[in-house]
Amino acid sequence: MEGRAGVRTGRQVIAAAVAGAGIVAVVQCLPASAAAARPGASAGLVSTATRTASASPGVVLVNQPSRSVCVGRKFRVGVWFQRFSGGSRAYRIAISGPRHRRFFYRHGLAPASRWRFWRVKAGRVGKYLISYSGHRPGTAKWTTYRVTTRARRC
């Protein structure tokens, strides 16, 4: 992604678009205190998402959790709608645990004024499958973006 070399943080911040899905995954690895202390870092994140969002109208941004987490700790999932991009604000988030049972589900309209986060506890060792769903631009069809987080003993 061009134009991102100027954003230097302790951890990597990436934005990736799901082709034509109307969902943009945003990896936010910064703690809240670091993001507040570095206004340039959060501005870089938003500008990257904006550039990606302009390619497909109607974008719901999702917070992608880290790839691994210690058992007993929490990981964060969330949504945000870009007001200027238009389109559907509808979202669905479902998380299945190591026992392959869905234990977390949220749905609704993504807020346009701020991020909406949920902190989910990884209670067992294994894989947690996070599924974000949103509408394709101009249709009522749901498209799913899946991410896996591994819980390990630390």
Q: What is the pLDDT of residue 16?
A: 35
The arithmetic mean of pLDDT across residues 48-52, rounded, is: 35
Domain count, the chain: 1
CB atoms within 10 A of CB 136: 18
* Within-domain flag for 9: no
CATH label of the domain that carries residue 37 = 2.60.40.1930
- Report whether pLDDT(42) > 60: no
Is residue 6 included in any domain, yes or no?
no
Give the C-alpha separation, 37 to 39, whole Å. Answer: 6
Residue 117: pLDDT band (50, 70, 90) is: very high
Q: How many CB atoms lie within 10 A of CB 8?
A: 11
Which of 29-43, 46-60, 132-146 has the highest average model confidence (pLDDT)?
132-146
More confident of the two residues 11 and 62: 62
Task: Kindly provide the residue ranges of all beta strands, DSSP E only, lying in 67-115, ordered along the sequence.
Answer: 68-70, 74-81, 90-96, 102-109
What's the average model confidence in pLDDT over 12-17? 33
| Residue 117 counted as domain residue | yes
Q: In the prediction, which pLDDT does 135 show?
A: 86
* Mean pLDDT across the chain: 73
Residue 2 lies in a domain: no
Give domain status of residue 80, yes or no: yes
Q: What is the pLDDT of residue 35?
A: 42
pTM: 0.66
- The answer to whether residue 5 sits within a structural domain is no
Per the domain annotation, does 3 fall within a domain?
Answer: no
Contact of 105 with 94, CB cutoff 8 Å: yes
Is 145 domain-assigned? yes
Give the confidence band of 119 by pLDDT, cuts at 50, 70, 90: very high
Query: For residue 49, which of 77, 19, 82 has the smallest C-alpha distance?
Result: 82
Please tell me the number of Cα atoms within 13 Å of 58 on its side-chain side: 19
Residue with more model confidence, 69 or 23? 69
Query: Over the stretch 58-85, which tens digit does the pLDDT of each residue have?
Result: 688 999 899 999 999 999 999 999 877 6
The percentage of residues in the chain with a pLDDT greater than 70, rounded to a whole number, is 62
Which residue segment(s) compose the domain that 68 sits in? Answer: 14-152
